């Protein structure tokens, strides 16, 4: 199955390092980032889980829950967590799913039928409080994920939802945003009384109030 943007993501019941969860109930009214790993004790993923643990307060400040996944059993996860703390300097501080039977990996389309499943299970899913998929990334085994970019995307998605805007290339909070073409100038004057700059009629930049 291939998940599409804005589709409600599948629910599931799993065992994690923090006990059993039902995914939709666990998300509750927050955002979630589900990111997967091909196996425990893999070097790139060890660095990623350490970095995600370091940044967990940044995600929490945005109302975002983190949850990892690996296809190895739960008992291996606990030993790997010890290695993550020892080598990366940060203890695992969010649940890690034991997807031994690849139930979640299959539900979320992470395993290509013609490929080694331990190569293809490296994905990121950003999910909103309505349980809708808002963005997904797929990474090759050799490339570590950029969690600063994941935070940037969440900032952009939340800003777009809150202010009915789009964000330009490389956007960061505090920088100008774009008024979508679907909003007429008349409506834009009500929504954005601060005004805007328009180098082209379809390209209108504005700044949001602090």
**pLDDT greater than 60 at residue 25:** yes
Cβ proximity of 150 and 160 under 8 Å: no
Lowest-confidence range among 32-46, 117-131, 188-202?
117-131
Q: Where in the chain is the domain with CATH 3.30.1020.10?
A: 164-206
pLDDT tens digit string along 80-103? 999 999 999 999 999 999 998 889
Q: Where in the chain is the domain with CATH 3.40.30.10?
A: 13-143
Average pLDDT, the chain: 94
Proportion of the chain above pLDDT 70, given as a percent: 95
Which band of pLDDT confidence, cut at 50, 70 and 90, is reported for residue 121?
confident
Cβ proximity of 84 and 53 under 8 Å: yes
Q: Which CATH superfamily is domain 13-143 in?
A: Glutaredoxin (3.40.30.10)
Helix/strand/coil percent split, the chain, to 5: 35, 25, 40
Please give the structure tokens belonging to residue 111.
């395993």
C-alpha closest to that of 177 among 156, 191, 152? 156
Predicted pLDDT at 1: 52
Proportion of the chain above pLDDT 90, given as a percent: 85
Q: How many Cα neighbours within 13 Å face the side chain of 19?
A: 1
C-alpha closest to that of 18 among 99, 82, 94, 86? 94
Give catalytic status of residue 45 as yes or no: yes
CATH 3.40.640.10 applies to domain 164-206:
no
Which entry of 45, 104, 111, 177 is annotated as an active-site residue? Answer: 45
Predicted pLDDT at 112: 67
Separation CA 166–CA 145 (nearest Å): 24
Predicted pLDDT at 159: 98
Which band of pLDDT confidence, cut at 50, 70 and 90, is reported for residue 48?
very high
Predicted pLDDT at 17: 96
Lowest-confidence range among 30-34, 36-40, 80-84, 192-196?
36-40
pLDDT tens digit string along 141-176? 889 999 999 999 999 999 999 999 999 999 999 999
Check: pTM over 0.85? Answer yes or no. yes
Predicted pLDDT at 110: 86
């Amino acid at each position: 199955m291939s998940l599409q943007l804005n589709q409600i993501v599948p629910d599931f019941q799993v065992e994690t390092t923090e006990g059993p969860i039902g995914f939709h109930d666990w998300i509750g009214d927050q955002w979630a980032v589900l990111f997967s790993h091909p196996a425990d004790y893999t070097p790139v993923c060890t660095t990623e889980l350490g970095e995600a643990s370091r940044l967990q307060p940044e995600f929490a400040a945005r109302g975002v829950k983190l949850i990892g996944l690996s296809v190895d059993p739960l008992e291996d996860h606990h030993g790997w967590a010890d290695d993550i703390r020892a080598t990366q300097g940060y203890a695992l501080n969010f649940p890690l799913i034991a997807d031994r039977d690849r139930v979640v990996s299959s539900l979320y389309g992470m395993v290509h039928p013609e490929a080694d499943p331990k190569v293809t299970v490296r994905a990121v899913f950003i999910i909103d409080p309505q349980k809708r998929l808002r963005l997904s990334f797929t990474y090759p085994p050799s490339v570590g994920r950029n969690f600063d970019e994941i935070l940037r995307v969440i900032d952009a998605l939340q800003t777009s939802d809150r202010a009915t805007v789009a964000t330009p290339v490389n956007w960061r909070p505090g920088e100008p945003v774009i008024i979508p073409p679907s909003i007429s100038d008349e409506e834009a004057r009500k929504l954005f009384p601060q005004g805007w700059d328009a180098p082209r009629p379809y390209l209108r930049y504005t700044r949001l109030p602090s």
